[in-house]
């Protein structure tokens, strides 16, 4: 769904347009390596090794050069899925 640009608003989005954008945008919740290590009860270095070797049960994403770990994947791993 495209949100029409309202020229009368000088480029400022209305509250309804902002709500629609939020519904359309999906942002995956992630945590830092230290936070992920704490949740998984591993050392941070273990997670870094997983990332560099591609050997772990979950893989991080890089955000601004930093490793970020998916909360959904951590939950699935903890649940045994």
Give residue-wise pLDDT tens across range 13-65: 788 888 888 777 767 799 999 999 999 999 999 999 999 999 999 999 998 99
Q: Which pLDDT belongs to residue 2?
A: 54
Residues 6+ positions from 46 with CB-CB distance below 8 Å: 37, 56
Tokens of 58: 């979950």
Cα–Cα distance for residue pair 51/62, rounded to 1 Å = 10
Does 80 or 1 have the greater pLDDT score? Answer: 80
Q: What is the pLDDT of residue 7?
A: 47
CA atoms within 13 A on the CB side of 35: 12
Which contiguous run of DSSP H or E holds residue 23? helix 15-24
pLDDT confidence of residue 20: 82
- What domains are there in the chain, each with its CATH number? 1-81 (1.10.1660)
Does the pTM exceed 0.75? no
């Amino acid at each position: 769904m495209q949100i029409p640009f309202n020229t009368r608003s000088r480029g400022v989005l209305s509250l309804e347009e902002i709500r629609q954008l939020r519904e359309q945008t999906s942002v995956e919740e992630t945590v830092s390596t230290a936070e992920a290590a704490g949740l998984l009860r591993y050392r941070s270095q273990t997670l870094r090794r997983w990332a560099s070797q591609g050997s772990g049960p979950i893989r991080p994403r890089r955000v601004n050069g930093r490793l970020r770990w998916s909360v959904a994947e951590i939950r699935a791993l903890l649940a045994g899925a």
